[in-house]
């Protein structure tokens, strides 16, 4: 077993490896080229009976684990949405792991609770969020959306379902047809029934149509359903479409419906004054989430969740067994009552480190650079007849497809783009993923990695054109 002196020596070595990794990351393939079971089959079938030297464990990490890692911090990682980190965030994670504190109650680490409260206030200020809302860090957007639906369910059943279970209510939840899968998951876990999730048709820009929402609600009321909650998305996963919050919020007010806003990816853009317009109408919402762990340079996991009605959140989750009672319960935030898990990691630290290291201006200039890179990529494709842009580029995601020649069928075009994506990812030089927009197989390129630069975009464009020339 590692002793104290070994720990010091190994930790120094690891930090050197970590610094080298960041420096040399472009030598790794952006997407792991491992085949299914390739890693599993290399791992020992028997757990060790006696402890092994750290050198051996680390050697196996380098030789057996690293080849099966997709390098999310590679600057040519254009897939999904980024889960970017940064130097200050990694350092904070090291400290969080070292302290190993359980931050479920104020008393279990007062600094963790109070720093969390403070950084949530900072985020509100930095992003122009409603100043009288309360904020808490959740592990993921999926969990935060579940919290929102559970709170909506409890608030609108007068906190009866928590106590008595479901009676005869037939609740409905509304979202756009572009919504993230975590919404349906939350609807299921909240016991509302996935059949009661109503997907509202989106418009030509993939944003929710408020009139269609209004009509769906009216139809449901006429059929005896109880409209419970609307989930609006800022920055849909397929194309970063922005649902119009104000008209949606006005409809929710008209019918007394809970409004939850999922801005998991795009929310970070609210740091930019020129992107504040997307939040117009947010004061009509009840809850709001965004993921600093996607585009704000904070390691996974860190979701910022803001609520208008703190009491409703607490009444939904509060539980106070004798062994958790403390004398300060009335003066402090016990974040265990603000969500699902009891035990909580000290996540506020990495957020604090990142905000202080970058500063608001540092964060803003990174984001502006990412928006600019997306425009460079988009403009390069717009000029060409053999590519098509498939959705408005509202932020730093470009949705596009290759058109090898005119007159091809939808099926043929889809198949050509499946092959193109596969070929690009097999080079290891870039990694991007796909979606479907109106039945069209769509390639997605997100320019949001912490250290992505114009040079990476240019190299990607070159690779793309080379590849299509060869395939076409």
Q: Which residue's CB is nearer to ligand PLP, number 75 or number 235?
A: 235
The two structure tokens encoding residue 337? 């009552």
Contact segment (CB under 6 A) with ligand PLP among 262-270, 349-357, 380-388, 464-472 equals: 262-270
CA 445 from chain centre, in angstroms, equals 16
Q: Where are the beta strands (DSSP E) in 244-374?
A: 258-262, 287-290, 303-307
Q: If we measure between CA atoms, which residue out of 303, 280, 240, 248 comes closest to residue 129?
A: 280
3-state secondary structure of 456: helix
Residue number, 58 or 80, with CB nearest to ligand PLP: 80
CA 92-93-94 angle, 5° bins: 90
Strand-strand pairing, 171-176 and 258-262: unpaired
Question: Which residue among 265, 297, 352, 387 contacts ligand PLP (CB under 6 A)?
Answer: 265
| Closer of 151 and 468 to ligand PLP (Cβ) | 151
Q: How far is the CB of 457 from ligand PLP (least distance, A)?
A: 22
Which of 261, 209, 194, 208 shows the shortest CA–CA distance to 239? Answer: 208
Among positions 103, 127, 141, 190, the unique one binding ligand PLP when judged by CB under 6 A:
141
Number of shown-chain residues binding ligand PLP (CB under 6 A): 14
Q: Determine which residue in the list 140, 196, 433, 459 makes contact with ligand PLP, applying CB under 6 A.
A: 140
List all residues 6 or more positions away from 34 whose beta carbon is below 8 Å from its beta carbon.
Answer: 67, 68
Please state the φ and ψ torsions of residue 220, each to the nearest 5 degrees.
-65, -45
The single residue among 264, 282, 349, 399 that binds ligand PLP, judged by CB under 6 A, is 264
Query: What gap in Å lies between CA 107 and CA 127, rounded to an integer?
Result: 30
DSSP strand pairing (134-138 vs 387-389): unpaired
Please give, one letter per residue, the 3-state secondary structure of 368-414: HHHHHHHHHHHHHHHCCCCEEECCCCCCCEEEEEECCCCCCCHHHHH
- Touching ligand PLP, residues 162-181 (CB under 6 A): 180
Nearest approach, Cβ of residue 80 and ligand PLP (Å): 8
Q: Of 81 and 387, which CB lies nearer to ligand PLP in the complex structure?
A: 81
CA–CA separation, 231 and 215 (whole Å): 16
Per CB under 6 A, which of residues 51..110 are in contact with ligand PLP?
A: 81
Q: How far is the CB of 190 from ligand PLP (least distance, A)?
A: 15
Least distance to ligand PLP, CB of residue 152, Å: 17
Q: In this complex, which beta carbon is closest to ligand PLP, that of residue 184 or of residue 214?
A: 184
Beta carbon nearer to ligand PLP, 80 or 451: 80
Closest CA to 342 of 360, 327, 324: 324
Nearer to ligand PLP, 109 or 182 (CB): 182
Quick one: which segment of 21-29, 135-143, 335-343, 407-415 binds ligand PLP (CB under 6 A)? 135-143
Site for ligand PLP (CB under 6 A): which residue of 73, 142, 334, 442?
A: 142
Minimum CB separation of residue 357 from ligand PLP in Å reads 23
| Sheet with 171-176: strands ordered across | 134-138, 303-307, 287-290, 258-262, 226-233, 171-176, 197-200
Q: Which is nearer to ligand PLP, 303 or 316 (CB)?
A: 303
- Residue ranges in 292-331 that form contacts with ligand PLP under rule CB under 6 A: 303
Question: How does strand 258-262 pair with strand 287-290?
Answer: parallel
Sign of CA dihedral 325, 326, 329, 332: negative
Q: Which residues inside 189-248 make contact with ligand PLP, applying CB under 6 A?
A: 233, 235, 237
Return the residue of 262, 286, 337, 416 that touches ligand PLP, per CB under 6 A. Answer: 262
Structure token pair of residue 120 = 């949530």
Instruction: Return the number of the residue (105 or 143) whose C-beta is nearest ligand PLP.
Output: 143
Nearest CB to ligand PLP, comparing residues 108 and 239: 239
Q: For tokens 């464990």, name the residue.
A: 57
Q: Which residues bind ligand PLP (CB under 6 A)?
A: 81, 140-142, 180, 182, 233, 235, 237, 262, 264-265, 291, 303
């Amino acid at each position: 077993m590692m002793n104290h002196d070994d720990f010091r020596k190994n930790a120094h070595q690891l930090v050197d490896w970590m610094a080298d990794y960041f420096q040399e990351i472009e030598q790794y393939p952006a997407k792991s080229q491992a085949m299914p079971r390739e890693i599993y089959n290399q791992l020992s079938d028997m757990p060790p009976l006696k402890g092994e030297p750290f050198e051996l464990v680390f050697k196996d990490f380098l030789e057996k684990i690293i080849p099966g890692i997709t390098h999310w911090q590679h600057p040519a990682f254009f897939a999904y949405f980024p889960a970017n980190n940064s130097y200050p965030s990694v350092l904070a994670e090291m400290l969080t792991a070292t302290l190993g504190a359980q931050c479920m109650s104020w008393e279990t680490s007062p600094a963790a609770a109070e720093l969390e409260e403070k950084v949530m206030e900072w985020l509100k200020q930095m992003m122009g969020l409603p100043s009288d809302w309360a904020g808490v860090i959740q592990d993921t957007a999926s969990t935060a959306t579940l919290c929102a639906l559970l709170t909506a369910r409890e608030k609108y059943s007068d906190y009866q379902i928590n106590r008595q279970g479901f009676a005869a209510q037939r609740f409905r939840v509304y979202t756009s047809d572009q919504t993230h899968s975590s919404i349906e998951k939350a609807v299921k876990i909240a016991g509302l029934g996935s059949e009661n999730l109503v997907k509202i048709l989106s418009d030509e820009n993939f944003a929710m149509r408020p009139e269609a929402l209004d009509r769906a609600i009216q139809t449901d009321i006429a059929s005896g359903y109880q409209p419970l909650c609307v989930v609006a998305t800022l920055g849909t996963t397929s194309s970063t479409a922005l649902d119009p919050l104000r008209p949606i919020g006005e409809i929710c007010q008209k019918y007394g419906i809970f409004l939850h806003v999922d801005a998991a990816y795009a929310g970070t853009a609210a740091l930019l004054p020129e992107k504040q317009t997307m939040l117009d109408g947010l004061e009509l919402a009840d809850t709001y989430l965004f993921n600093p762990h996607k585009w704000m340079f904070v390691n996974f996991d860190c979701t910022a969740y803001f609520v208008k009605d703190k009491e409703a959140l607490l009444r939904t989750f509060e539980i106070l067994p004798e062994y958790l009672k403390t004398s300060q319960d009335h003066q402090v935030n016990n974040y265990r009552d603000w969500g699902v898990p009891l035990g909580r990691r000290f996540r506020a630290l990495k957020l604090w480190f990142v905000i202080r290291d970058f500063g608001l201006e540092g964060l803003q200039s990174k984001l502006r650079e990412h928006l600019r890179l997306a425009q460079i990529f988009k403009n390069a494709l717009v000029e060409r007849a053999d590519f098509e842009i498939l959705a408005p580029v509202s932020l730093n995601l470009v949705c596009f497809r290759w058109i090898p020649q005119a007159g091809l069928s939808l099926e043929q075009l889809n198949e050509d783009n499946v092959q193109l994506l596969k070929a690009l990812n097999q080079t290891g030089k870039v990694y991007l993923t796909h979606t479907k927009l109106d039945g069209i197989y769509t390639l997605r390129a997100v320019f949001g990695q912490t250290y992505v630069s114009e040079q990476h975009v240019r190299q990607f464009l070159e690779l793309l054109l080379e590849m299509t020339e060869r395939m076409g």
